[in-house]
Structure 1
Amino acid sequence: MAKNKENLVDEGFRVSLVETAFFDGKFEIPHIDAPDKIIIPNGMVPFSVRERSQDKKDFVCFYEHDINFRDILTKTEEYVDELKQYPGIITPDCSLYIDAPLCVQIADIYLNRAVGHYLQKQGLYVIPNIRWGDERTFKEEFLGEKVVFQGVDKHSIVSVGTYGQIQSAESKRFFREGLSEMIKELEPEVVLVYGSMPDTIFADFKKTTKFIPYPDWTTRMKSK
């Protein structure tokens, strides 16, 4: 017997956002359609300081501590009209800690795509942010599929963030391995990079992939 939607309890996974979604893979990750036209952002502004974007010409991104953009996950619908004032958004950068349980990592991938799908359906220009966790999320031999790349079309535009993510030798290794798998799996036409681009990670990939760098917000403000 179908339940009355008004009586459903929101358990935190925002199922109301994906009522019209197509789901990819065995974990049923909501799909975000590739845009008809690739638009390169003039700049990126983190969600928590979006009002500081001059003339609202920046894409809104979520490369900051998760607590600063919690509301976009829990109250997505309330921000649609405001976000439409900007040229587009990068989907939420939910933290995928490599020491977190796999179910938590997959849940964060789901929320990234769920919010992106919903905002796209509301008419916003959406660029998927790709964040991977440990090897189980980006290597096929563990789960039978690369779950972190589900819900994203090939041969289009994606975004990644290095800000605060490549501080240790281990984090650099995981980032480089995940980046390599992403490029092989999605074959992106353009990859936006929020934060630094050290040659130890990016040099080899620059030969075949177009990267566009964006300074993190703190660095950008200091350079003015």
Structure 2
Amino acid sequence: MPLAINNIVDICRFMQQMHDELKEQIEFDSDGWPIFPRTNFVSEVPEEFVTFDYRNNPLITAPRNKTVLAFFEPDRRIYPRLSKIKQDLPIYKQYAGVVFPDITITTDMDHELQETLILANHLFAAYLVANGVKVVFNTRTADITTLDTFKNIPQGVMCASGFLGCKNSTNFFEASKYTNKILRILPETLLIYGKHDKKIDMQLDTLGINYLYFQDFHSKSKMEVVA
């Protein structure tokens, strides 16, 4: 019976379960964070980038082995994926790769809670790579101190960001909060799911970051209706 996940206590139970199962399969650092070798990451740019819930929609036409799955969705849609990670493993193996989960992390949370939730995202990804699934690093962080959670991610791997639900940057300083963390990881390719942020685009262009936008599913479905 999968562990039901409804709150932070359940997430901590999930994390302990992942630690117990993975300690003989992958390497952890002295703080208990999984270490991800470069070979764990997707290397070829996907044709499609879609959230887990919409993977079977007829609008998604790319082959599964050319499609990356993501979890840029509300937490209530992500939690079941944590509890059913073993059950869903055969699904993940059909795809080119899976983005680290996107459990909500905000700057008004205690620092310890921010790091706990980021670690849960990393442990989910660690379970996938231990079972032969390629991953894409999710650049989601909260306050600047959580950038230390990038420490076990190699520079130059494929990364992903989701801008849905985020306000567009209004000035250089706001945009630089995002681009500064991108400079920490220097992705080979940055996949962005959802709307454009023009000020961030300008900074990424200036920095020479290779980035690609993928239309979110709701926008894609609206265009289909109009057509």
Bin for the TM-score computed over the shorter chain: 0.7 to 0.9
CA distance in 2, matches of 1:23, 1:100: 25
Structure 2, unaligned runs of 5 or more: 1-9
**TM-score under structure 1 normalisation?**
0.80
What is the CA distance between 1:169 and its match in structure 2? Answer: 5.7
Amino acid across the alignment from 2:32: E
Identity among equivalent pairs (%):
22
Alignment check: 8 A CA contact 1:98 1:133 kept? yes
CA distance in 2, matches of 1:151, 1:221: 37
Amino acid across the alignment from 2:220: R
Counterpart position of 1:200: 199
Counterpart position of 2:128: 119
CA distance in 2, matches of 1:177, 1:21: 34
- What SS does the aligned partner of 2:106 have? coil
Aligned residues, how many? 204
**TM-score under structure 2 normalisation?**
0.79
Counterpart position of 1:166: 167
Structure 1, unaligned runs of 5 or more: 1-8, 139-145
RMSD over aligned Cα atoms? 2.5
**Taking structure 1 as reference, are residues 17 and 40 closer, same or farther at Cα in structure 2, changes over 3 Å only?**
farther
Amino acid across the alignment from 2:47: N
Amino acid across the alignment from 1:12: F
Counterpart position of 2:183: 184
Counterpart position of 1:51: 56
Counterpart position of 1:22: 27
What is the CA distance between 1:33 and its match in structure 2? Answer: 2.6
Per-residue CA distance 1:201-221 (angstroms, 9 max, x = gap) = 220221310001111110122
CA distance in 2, matches of 1:18, 1:206: 39
Counterpart position of 1:129: 138
CA distance in 1, matches of 2:20, 2:108: 29
Alignment check: 8 A CA contact 2:105 2:141 kept? yes
Amino acid across the alignment from 1:29: W
